[in-house]
Structure 1
Amino acid sequence: MAVYTKVEEETLAQFLKNYNLGKTHSIKGIVKGVENTNYLLKSDSGKFILTLYEKRVNEDDLPFFIGLMEHLSQNGFSCPTPIRNRKGMVLGKLEKKTAAIMSFVEGIEVKRPKEGHCYSAGQTMARLHLAAANFQMRRTNSFDLKRLELIMATRDQMSSVEESLQELIDDELKYLQKNWPKSIPSGVIHADMFKDNTLFLNGKISGVIDFYFACNDFLAYDVAIALNSWCFDNNFRFLPGLSNSFISGYNTIRPMTVQEIQSLPILVRGAALRFLLTRLRDWLDVQKDRLVVLHNPEAFISRLIFWRQSHLI
């Protein structure tokens, strides 16, 4: 989430006339995240998230994202629910951008998770996978190995971050392309179930947000992505107890196959490379006129180096 597009008061009021939300009390930009413009909207009907989809989002993908959130909500999974306007439509136009309103999920991120948090997060991911199993729409992973090369920065740009970064990335990409799994269970994955997208309330998970990377891919790859977020401390140190707890929680709901477990050492490396490259792209492409908190790619340089040397999974 971020704020790239400023919404004028009169334009917003006109847009909201299409909805049955009652009187608007306040609207505030959310600076966290990097993909879309998001506002917290408060009205007579409660709290909502107003999203304006920016240029990185392919509008052809929006029916998948919206349909998935509706499907999950209808199947008892707690996530933002798209709000339809008076004409029964989810998408509209605001400040010349495609926009939508979603229900607000109460809760906060646990910044320093313990084993119990990771166990619950693993269970929640498995429930998401099962709830999405009969979702009929499909979407290709826009950051799979074939597409990662398309977002790589130039050698000069990489060396400005770290001298040997180009060599590290080139070597890793070749290794992953040679060793990537081919026949493990697939389905709809969240693809970004980091700590900040998993909300807790009164010690329990209250919902999962930000489905704008969701796609069809290996289910175990979703686990690998999450391990890269949940199982490292603020000093980039790996915490094996958290990793074991996440996997154990997942297995209580959807037991992973032997092949999936064996693939995790490769998948966690692929996940680290994917987020290294996208964070590097954002870090090098700073737009000073936007309200957004960027993530330093150093965290995933460290993770990738760790996974390359580790045999802990």
Structure 2
Amino acid sequence: MAVYTEVADEELAAFVAGYDIGGLVSFKGIAEGVENSNFLLRTETGSFILTLYEKRVRESDLPFFVGLMEHLAAGGLNCPTPVRDRNGEALGRLAGRPAAIVTFLDGMWVRRPKVAHCAQVGEALADLHAAGADFSIVRDNALSVGGWRPLFELSAARADEVLQGLGAEIEAELDHLERHWPGELPKGVIHADLFPDNVFFLGDRLSGLIDFYFACNDLFAYDLAICINAWCFEPDRQFNVTKRGR
């Protein structure tokens, strides 16, 4: 469930009144997602998504996320666009949390991706990388090779409880990756979380990308690796080479 913070009706109505999107008609929580509290808003002018940023998201990162969505949308990528309030601000506060309203993106995510879906995801990812080339804000990837050893060390003492010898195997793998990480590969803005539930389709046509809250600057190959793992394996765990493409 991705509603961690409840919002009082009166408080929400007052928040929405600060935007030129009409009065609040209805709102409901959105179950999908793991990082933030999300609500579907319906106002007199249409539908929007309200996000309350929870404690796992650093407030100092929000200008990157919000600015990136605006930048990508201006560059032609179909993604949610932050709505600015009457004071020109894209970020506000609601229920004690940083909050933003973004445009509603129509579509659904596919549960059983086909080759045609994967091809469109590859094109959209390339468009994202190109559109982000001149984005001026930089955010390091906290979940790249530099962050893996600290994560491991949090549970290293218990690794062998899962499988005997697992701790030593992970330790050796981390040593190898830190020595041989291909840092010279092309870099730029990446989505870093382009799993199927973050890509919307209308029928068989890709309608847009959502959830940019892991986006950062890192290797383009990192983004490709996430997509290959997320999109190109079948339910029986067999790798589909055709879905991967060339």
Deviations along 1:140-188, one digit per CA (max 9) or x if unpaired, are: 111121112223342465456x324434432332221122102111111
Q: 1:106 to 1:184 in 2, by over 3 A?
A: same
Distance between the aligned counterparts of 1:34 and 1:157, measured in 2? 25
Partner of 2:200: 199
What is the 5 A alignment of 1:82-161? 82-152=82-152, 153-155=154-156, 158=159
Aligned pairs, how many?
Answer: 244
Any gaps of 5 or more consecutive residues in structure 1? Answer: 249-313
Distance between the aligned counterparts of 1:112 and 1:106, measured in 2? 19
Partner of 1:172: 173
Deviations along 1:227-247, one digit per CA (max 9) or x if unpaired, are: 110011223332221112xxx
Give the structure with the larger helix fraction: 1
Q: TM-score, normalised by structure 1?
A: 0.74
Q: 1:37 to 1:157 in 2, by over 3 A?
A: farther
Partner of 2:50: 50
Instruction: State the shift of 1:70 in Å.
Output: 0.4
Instruction: State the shift of 1:62 in Å.
Output: 0.7
1:211 to 2:184 alignment: no
Instruction: State the shift of 1:22 in Å.
Output: 1.2
Residue identity matched to 1:68: L
Partner of 1:75: 75
Instruction: State the shift of 1:100 in Å.
Output: 0.4
Partner of 1:21: 21
Say which structure, 1 or 2, has more relative contact order (CA 8 Å, 6+ apart).
1
Distance between the aligned counterparts of 1:232 and 1:80, measured in 2? 28
1:9 to 2:15 alignment: no
Distance between the aligned counterparts of 1:30 and 1:219, measured in 2? 30
1:64 to 2:68 alignment: no
Q: 1:47 to 1:157 in 2, by over 3 A?
A: farther
Partner of 2:163: 163
Distance between the aligned counterparts of 1:95 and 1:180, measured in 2? 42
Q: TM-score, normalised by structure 2?
A: 0.93
Instruction: State the shift of 1:203 in Å.
Output: 1.2
Q: 1:157 to 1:37 in 2, by over 3 A?
A: farther
Distance between the aligned counterparts of 2:13 and 2:172, measured in 1? 52
Distance between the aligned counterparts of 1:187 and 1:72, measured in 2? 13
Distance between the aligned counterparts of 2:9 and 2:160, measured in 1? 44
Deviations along 1:39-83, one digit per CA (max 9) or x if unpaired, are: 111111211110011111111111111111101111111000000
Distance between the aligned counterparts of 1:230 and 1:187, measured in 2? 22
RMSD of aligned alpha carbons: 1.6
Distance between the aligned counterparts of 2:173 and 2:241, measured in 1? 23
Distance between the aligned counterparts of 1:107 and 1:167, measured in 2? 45
Residue identity matched to 1:206: S
Distance between the aligned counterparts of 2:221 and 2:155, measured in 1? 31
Any gaps of 5 or more consecutive residues in structure 2? Answer: none
Give the structure with the larger strand fraction: 2
Identity of aligned residues (%): 48
